[in-house]
Amino acid sequence: MMADRPSSRSSFLRAFLDALRAVAGDKGVLMLLIGAPVLYGFFYPWFYSLEVVQRVPVAVVQQDGSGLARQMLRFAEASPRIEVVLTTGDEAEAQQALLRGEVMGYALLPPDLKRDVVRTQKVVVPVYANGAYPLVAKQVQYGFAEAVGTVSAGIELRRLGAAGQSRLQAASSRSPINLQMEALFNPTEGYGSFVVAAVAVLILQQTLLMGGALLVGTWRERGEAAAPVRIWLARLLALCALGWLSGLYYFGWMFVWHDFPRGGNPLGALLLLAVFVPAVAGLGVLLGWWFANRERAMQVLLFTSIPLAFLGGFSWPAEALPTILQWLRWLSPSTAAIQASLRLNQMGAPAQAAAFHLSVLLALALASWLAVLWVGRRRAGAGTAGHIGRPD
């Protein structure tokens, strides 16, 4: 009984160590809680380690042999965004190469390019890019637009100069208002920094959910799950301890190792882990209790990472989701945690910028822990023998 406090504290410690031992003794749980986060920490960023797409293969269809057209080709060849792998006079050849995937786009330098420019007639250089790959198409379009734009600006400055304007005046009357872009938080606009920083949170959630559910599902099968409050708290805390370790590994080591935007508000990030991990652990235990089956949680949860990633509001703007989903998405801790992590880790915002998200996580944690304590309580008179896992 809970007669004297020192002994109850030491028995809590014993229960905590027992739970840790149960985790350590189960290869499946260990793989999910330790192995998978470590593995994914290397695996996921590997694909995006170059961060940006450079030197996209393109073709130039040159139907004009003038010096102006050759100048445009040289500027295109100099662009780091694109790499001219095919120069041809035949548009059909470029189209074929595009369909075969050998080039991702091409520019058509039309016949009489130079003549029309001299006559101040309208000259258009069409740039065709494979829009089925948006990231690549953007590079193709910008690469060619910059090359052609540079040549075009040169022509216009010469014209304005001929009309009697000074160079400076000419430059500003050509384009009176300019837009300066400042990329904040992810200055290189790297793809890995954008995807992995958010997906890391989802990986933390999915591995801890499955690991917790696997552990409790196994106990349920064996009829060992029901326990008094003290034991449950110790078990939840043991799961949290491992979750916190992986969380620190991601926010600390992985973000640093791959040089992702990070470290904006380290204390805030710790606060996030302090509420996020318990929410996930609680939900994992509940799932395990409900499934009462060792492997079921993995079967059911594996596919959910895809919809959860797109509900997280980082790769797909939440503004574009149907209204009901904008509400329902908060039921998964990953949504609030991704949003909070972006603010605290990548944007370096003060904790109050994530107050709403941290409160959502705290509410999920409290609700799930209370539910665990209630459904998992050992009923009077019901021994361990009374519980037999459901056959399905």
Q: Which stretch of DSSP H or E encloses residue 379?
A: none
Select 3 or 180, whichever has its Cβ closest to other proteins: 180
Select 235 or 294, whichever has its Cβ closest to other proteins: 294
Instruction: Report the nearest approach of other proteins to the CB of residue 81 (Å).
Output: 12
145 binds other proteins (CB under 8 A): yes
Q: How far apart are the C-alpha atoms of 197 and 343, rounded to whole Å?
A: 11
355-375 helix and 229-248 helix, angle to the nearest 10 degrees: 140
DSSP reduced 3-state for 82: strand
Instruction: Report the nearest approach of other proteins to the CB of residue 303 (Å).
Output: 4
180 binds other proteins (CB under 8 A): yes
- Site size toward other proteins (CB under 8 A) is 117
Contact 140, 127 (CB under 8 A): yes
Buried b vs exposed e over 144-165: b needs ≥16 C-beta within 10 Å? bbbbbeebbeeeeeeebeeeeb
Select 195 or 216, whichever has its Cβ closest to other proteins: 195
Select 98 or 279, whichever has its Cβ closest to other proteins: 98
* Out of 66, 348, 363, 366, the residue judged to bind other proteins by CB under 8 A: 348
360-367 LR contacts (CB < 8 Å, sep 24+) = 360/330, 360/335, 360/336, 361/272, 361/275, 361/276, 361/279, 361/333, 361/336, 361/337, 362/275, 362/279, 364/279, 364/282, 364/283, 364/331, 364/333, 364/336, 365/275, 365/278, 365/279, 365/282, 367/282
* Out of 113, 233, 254, 337, the residue judged to bind other proteins by CB under 8 A: 113
Contact 108, 125 (CB under 8 A): yes
Sign of CA dihedral 379, 382, 384, 386: negative
Q: Dig out the tokens for 375 from the structure.
A: 């459904």
Instruction: Report the nearest approach of other proteins to the CB of residue 5 (Å).
Output: 39
216 binds other proteins (CB under 8 A): no
Give the per-residue contact string, 230-259, with other proteins (x = CB under 8 A; - = no).
Answer: ------------------------------
Contact 364, 282 (CB under 8 A): yes
161 binds other proteins (CB under 8 A): no
85 binds other proteins (CB under 8 A): no
Q: Dig out the tokens for 134 from the structure.
A: 């948006």
* Out of 8, 10, 14, 39, the residue judged to bind other proteins by CB under 8 A: 39
Residue ranges in 258-317 that form contacts with other proteins under rule CB under 8 A: 261, 291, 293-296, 298-300, 302-303, 305-307, 310-311, 314-317
Residue ranges in 184-213 that form contacts with other proteins under rule CB under 8 A: 184-187, 189, 191, 193-195, 197, 199
* Out of 78, 135, 229, 267, the residue judged to bind other proteins by CB under 8 A: 135
Alpha helices (H) along 350-390 = 355-375
Give the per-residue contact string, 93-112, with other proteins (x = CB under 8 A; - = no).
Answer: -----xxxx--xx-x-----
Select 132 or 385, whichever has its Cβ closest to other proteins: 132
Give the per-residue contact string, 350-379, with other proteins (x = CB under 8 A; - = no).
Answer: x--x--------------------------
* Out of 8, 13, 17, 47, the residue judged to bind other proteins by CB under 8 A: 47
126 binds other proteins (CB under 8 A): yes
Half-sphere exposure of 114 (CA within 13 A, CB side): 11
Region binding other proteins by CB under 8 A among candidate stretches 223-231, 247-255, 277-285, 342-350 = 342-350
Buried b vs exposed e over 173-190: b needs ≥16 C-beta within 10 Å? eeeeeeeeeeeeebeeeb
Instruction: Report the nearest approach of other proteins to the CB of residue 203 (Å).
Output: 9
Select 316 or 327, whichever has its Cβ closest to other proteins: 316
* Out of 6, 25, 134, 381, the residue judged to bind other proteins by CB under 8 A: 134
Q: Dig out the tokens for 38 from the structure.
A: 């470590």
326 binds other proteins (CB under 8 A): no
Select 174 or 378, whichever has its Cβ closest to other proteins: 174
Select 92 or 320, whichever has its Cβ closest to other proteins: 320
148 binds other proteins (CB under 8 A): yes
- Please return the burial class of 112, using the count of CB atoms within 10 Å of its CB with bins 0-12, 13-18 and 19+: middle
